[in-house]
Amino acid sequence: MSRSVLELRHLRTMLTLQDTGSVSAAAQRLHLTQSALSHQLKALETHYNTQLFDRRRQPLCATQTGQRLLTLAQLVLPAVEEAERELSRMVDGEAGCLRIAVECHTCFDWLMPTMDDFRAHWREVELDIVSGFHADPTSLLLTHRADLAVVSEYEPDPAVFYTPLFRYEIMALLANDHPLAEKPRLSAEDFRDQTLITYPVPDDMLDLVRQVLLPAGINPARRTSELTVAILQLVASRRGVAALPFWAVKSYVDRHYISARPIGEGGLFGELYAVVRQEDAHLPYMADFLHTMREVCASALAGIALLPLVE
């Protein structure tokens, strides 16, 4: 039993046979001998047990069954060429797909301008944001469910390429007339009897909890909200206190809508990194996106410090 003899080569032969109307001419165009095509055709005809071309007269013409295979060839071969062309553009890093996984809510503030800028320069790259929040964005990369992740921790891994983005201060946010606003800076202890307003994410994604409150054994009451402005509104109306990146709320503080105070002795800082698969790091569009991210952050976010590029 000979499983499936049909190959793309045969479809190419059939199409050329149809175009040229002769075996010899088709052979010439395919850089093969007349004999080769004759054998090829005979093999197909034997396999399908039907004549595919009527070779009794010139120009030779397809039989009904031959026509059916020609129809197939006309569908398949252009699709193959199209795929190979696109593949080559992908390899060259002109076309591609850039799915971004984000683990912090506030990142959208600078991610959107970055994407807008990028889209204008790389029309053939499909941009997308991977919906939902994930425990370990790096594993999304390695399972090819995302192509870039924004993370707050750097863990060395040879399969992966990190680009440092920036360092920012996380400030405690209080209503202007809140008693704690008297203090120049807050300590872990200050949060004990407060209601803490956060995004609805696990504790280990909240820098304040993980780095300050948890070590001090303090676990204040909670309230959550998806939107940054909603959190600020709650703070302003004295429903609780929050801790957010300063750059995300600076404009509100400047307008005295709320007050901001450093947390702990030297302040509480976070860092952000972009991480991509090692093999994608040097694709032109990927390198450009990484570069654009830093540019946009530096110019759009007040009070941050770009981290130095390594390597």
Span 109-128, contacts to DNA by CB under 7 A: none
**Which CB, 224 or 278, lies closer to a second copy?**
278
Other C-beta atoms lying within 10 Å of the C-beta of residue 115: 20
Span 51-110, contacts to DNA by CB under 7 A: 55-58, 60
CB 272 within 8 A of CB 301: no
d(CA 99, CA 275): 12
- Range list of β-strands (E), 44-178: 53-54, 61-62, 96-102, 125-129, 148-151, 160-174
In the list 5, 91, 135, 300, the residue contacting DNA (rule: CB under 7 A) is: 5
3-state DSSP assignment of residue 97: strand
Backbone angles phi and psi of 44, in degrees to 5: -60, -45
Stretch that binds DNA, among 41-49, 117-125, 195-203, 230-238 (CB under 7 A): 41-49
Residue 280 identity (one-letter amino acid): D
**Which CB, 49 or 58, lies closer to DNA?**
58
**Which CB, 153 or 157, lies closer to DNA?**
157
Tokens of 8: 């793309």
**Which CB, 119 or 144, lies closer to a second copy?**
144
d(CA 268, CA 244): 10
d(CA 291, CA 294): 6
In the list 22, 50, 63, 225, the residue contacting DNA (rule: CB under 7 A) is: 22
In the list 11, 14, 15, 41, the residue contacting DNA (rule: CB under 7 A) is: 41
Return the axis-axis angle of helices 108-121 and 284-300, rounded to nearest 10°: 130
Residues that bind a second copy (CB under 8 A): 3-4, 6-9, 31, 48-51, 54, 56-57, 61-65, 68-69, 71-72, 75-76, 79-80, 83-84, 86-88, 90-91, 96-97, 142-144, 147, 159, 279
* Binding site residues, DNA, CB under 7 A: 2, 5, 7, 9, 22-25, 27, 31-36, 38-43, 55-58, 60
